[in-house]
Structure 1
Amino acid sequence: MQDLKLAVLIDADNISPKYVKVILDEAASFGVATCKRIYGDWSDVRLKSWKDVLLNNSIIPIQQYGYTTGKNATDSAMIIDAMDLLYSGSVDGFCIVSSDSDFTRLAARLREAGKLVIGMGESKALGPFVKACDQFKYLDLILDHGGTEEAAVDTAADAEAAARASAGDDTAFNRDSICRLVRDMIDEMDDGTGWVRTSRVGDQLIKRYPDFDVRNFGSKSLNKFLMTFPDLEVEERTLPNGNPIQFVRIRPRPKKTAPARKPTGKHRVARKKQ
């Protein structure tokens, strides 16, 4: 299968250079970044820290002067270039790197054209932009939690708070809501065995929550993240007939039934008298 060709478009006014490795690593997980551009007014001293990063990572800086005070000309330049790339047919998808909700309509338009849209930004990104993308990656959470393998509730508390704030008032996107959603998904996809493959659950979580990423909660893998829920049972299996391929499945943990109480001696005596 041929890798997808991606255009990585970065809003320098809105993104710190400390995220460049995370940005490029995330893009590489989806395809090949055939176009890497960053937009800003490079005469502004605030963008000076980007210069060495651009050289070392072959990112092309696009100069955009701020013609009017209070107006963001960088956004307009990014949108025009994105539409030019769309109509050229030279790329299969876009990575829009910004926390600015002004790119919401752009993301929606690119998806309407059948292109993969990966949004990347900080956890302050607003819900409409997040939901307009196929997937959204929180760069600050990945940078903070991506290097550790701790999926406990305590280590994920800060990530949860950020995810809830970005999702908006209509969605409490936390561990409790994820557990409830996974249980509902298992009911929907159950083939009669009570079990569902975790890969199918992960695909559905991303479709319903574009910003879902286990690294936001301090974990590195979906399976290990799901194992932290006491209400869910995760099991590794091997395909039958000697097939070496392994898969992981999940189901709600069966509730333990209390053993039947034995009648006491007093009860037995009472029945005997009757």
Structure 2
Amino acid sequence: MINSEQIIALLIDADNTQEKKMKSVIMEISAYGRIVVKRAYGNWTKEVLKKWEDDFRNLAIKPIQQIDYVKGKNATDMALVIDALDFLYTSNYDTYAIVSSDSDFTPLAIKLRESGKFVIGVGKESASEAFKQSCDLYLCLEKLNMDSDEVIEEVENNANNKETEIDELDRLLQIAANSYQDDETGYTNVSSAGTYIKRVKPDFDISKYGVKKLPEYIERKSDLYEMTKYKGKGTVNIIAYKLKENNT
């Protein structure tokens, strides 16, 4: 089971990542804790980076402008490294997520790990083994759920598309189930899933889905989920769920 109480700094090398994947990246990283810093580094005057503007607004990412001081030389990497080391010595972040496929970040990942930090790398499958091995966890962009990207794009283009919104909620429940399931039973506490969903979507309102509580929604989707209830501490009853085998 993942420790979801980590405080995370998400640092994005915009020159070496896929902008269209950022919503899925944030969904995955949020399973490991609360992202308190979301910064993307790049020379935003470049035409190739213009598409990032929507992500700044919709995903609350702070753009960090870095001009190319020398033509043909990219200064973005250095700006990201400087900020990461500044955070390391002046802040108390538990986890650093570096979104890039650039092997130049290998020394940074090693330094962060040597300092006791958990390092998540996010990049292409073709990234160097050196960078992958310098991270505690490496997530391949190509393996992030493609359907979720399509769902998200539809949601942003048509806020009234309820079927699409439900598809996104099921994707979040799937991530939560895979991240927080009990190692022995395979079930995930619905409360943990709800906390994760609110972390990813602060405006989440279960009433939009025609139910009063998240367990009611899960119970209605019996084709996707199995539910169980058991006694917790004192008078507390725990409600948990897991994905049915054909939906894992």
State the TM-score, normalized to the length of structure 1.
0.52
Q: Which residue does 2:116 correspond to in 1? A: 114
Bigger relative contact order (CA 8 A; separation at least 6): 2
Could you tell me which amino acid in structure 1 is paired with residue 69 of structure 2? Answer: Y
Could you tell me which amino acid in structure 1 is paired with residue 18 of structure 2? Answer: S
Q: Which residue does 1:37 correspond to in 2? A: 39
Match of 1:47 among 46, 49, 56: 49
Looking at structure 2, the residues matched to 112 and 84 of structure 1 have their Cα atoms a distance apart, in angstroms, of 15
Looking at structure 1, the residues matched to 92 and 73 of structure 2 have their Cα atoms a distance apart, in angstroms, of 30
Gap change, CA 1:111 and 1:51, over 3 Å in 2:
same
Gap change, CA 1:199 and 1:69, over 3 Å in 2:
farther
Displacement after TM superposition at 1:69 (Å): 2.3
Match of 1:25 among 24, 27, 30: 27
Could you tell me which amino acid in structure 2 is paired with residue 116 of structure 1? Answer: F
Could you tell me which amino acid in structure 1 is paired with residue 29 of structure 2? Answer: A
Measured on the aligned residues, the alpha-carbon RMSD in Å equals 2.4
Q: Contact 1:19 / 1:143 at 8 angstroms: preserved in 2?
A: no
Q: Contact 2:24 / 2:148 at 8 angstroms: preserved in 1?
A: no
Could you tell me which amino acid in structure 1 is paired with residue 87 of structure 2? Answer: L
1:1-274 pair list within 5 angstroms:
3-144=5-146
Q: Contact 2:25 / 2:144 at 8 angstroms: preserved in 1?
A: no
Q: Which has the larger radius of gyration?
A: 1
Could you tell me which amino acid in structure 2 is paired with residue 107 of structure 1? Answer: A
State the secondary structure of the residue aligned to 2:126: coil
Gap change, CA 1:146 and 1:133, over 3 Å in 2:
farther
Q: Which residue does 1:232 correspond to in 2? A: none
Displacement after TM superposition at 1:17 (Å): 1.2
State the secondary structure of the residue aligned to 1:51: helix
Displacement after TM superposition at 1:2 (Å): 7.0
State the secondary structure of the residue aligned to 2:15: coil
State the secondary structure of the residue aligned to 1:32: strand
State the secondary structure of the residue aligned to 1:23: helix
Could you tell me which amino acid in structure 2 is paired with residue 86 of structure 1? Answer: L
Displacement after TM superposition at 1:26 (Å): 1.4
Looking at structure 1, the residues matched to 22 and 83 of structure 2 have their Cα atoms a distance apart, in angstroms, of 20
How many residue pairs match? The answer is 152
Structure 1, gaps ≥5 residues long: 148-197, 201-274
Could you tell me which amino acid in structure 2 is paired with residue 78 of structure 1? Answer: L
Q: Contact 2:9 / 2:35 at 8 angstroms: preserved in 1?
A: yes
State the TM-score, normalized to the length of structure 2.
0.57
Displacement after TM superposition at 1:144 (Å): 3.9
